Amino acid sequence: MPLTQQEFRTIYPLIAGWIQKTLAQHAAAARSVVSLGFSRLPDYYNADMLASSRVIVVERVPVPPLSAMGLARFAEFERMDAGGVTYLDTYFVRADHAHVESLHFHELVHVIQWRLLGPEKFLGLYADGLERFGYRHSPLEVMAYDLQERFELREPSFDVEAACRKRMRELTGLEGNPTILDGH
Ligand SMILES: [Zn+2]
């Protein structure tokens, strides 16, 4: 059964609170992306983006306890042990993947998505995509993986933020104020 708007309204404050707490707990370990010194990211992201986005290297990336919050349907996602995960302007990377520049590229796409949509719409769209298509085929992941592939294939550099804006318009049908939770 799909996540209803009512369920989402109930769960959203819990997830938002968990994110705030988790980021605060790791704040001392956060570094700017630019401080990592990757050579290719500046060809795709502007300097402000690389200076303001933050990275936290961890043994295991933190994921909200969705089952405990009543969303057992996301148990598989909770168990995934991903290489990276992004919350707002900060992403966590697993220590054994911390040197992989294309993973940082991928998580920075999510930073842009969080900013374009705002937290509530990001989480709503992400949860909806996860439920309907599974992790790898959810629209926000497809966007990140497609752009990451262009980076890995060393296509001529492009403005990732502009590419995200274009794809977000196609995805939500609206710019600036996507009403993505309608229809539930
Ligand atoms: Zn991703």
Question: pLDDT digits over 33-65, tens only?
Answer: 999 999 999 999 999 999 999 999 999 999 999
* pLDDT in the model for residue 91: 98
For residue 172, the CA-to-ligand 1 centroid distance in Å is: 18
Query: Please, which residues have CB less than 5 A from ligand 1, an ion?
Result: 141, 144
For residue 6, the CA-to-ligand 1 centroid distance in Å is: 26
pLDDT in tens, 93-142: 999 999 999 999 999 999 999 999 999 999 999 999 999 999 999 999 99
pLDDT surpasses 90 at 31: yes
Which of 81-85, 131-135, 176-180 bottoms out in mean pLDDT, i.e. has the lowest?
176-180
* pLDDT in the model for residue 1: 61
% of the chain residues with pLDDT over 90: 78
Mean pLDDT of the chain: 91
pLDDT surpasses 70 at 184: no
Could you tell me the pTM of the whole model?
0.92
In three-state form (DSSP H/G/I as H, E/B as E, the rest C), the secondary structure along the chain is: CCCCHHHHHHHHHHHHHHHHHHHHHCHHHCEECHHHCCCCHHHCCCHHHHHHCEEEEECCCCCCCCCCCCCHHHHHHHCCCCCEEEECCEEEEEHHHCCCHHHHHHHHHHHHHHHHHCHHHHHHHHHHHHHHHCCCCCHHHHHHHHHHHHHHCCCCCCCHHHHHHHHHHHHHCCCCCCCCCCCC
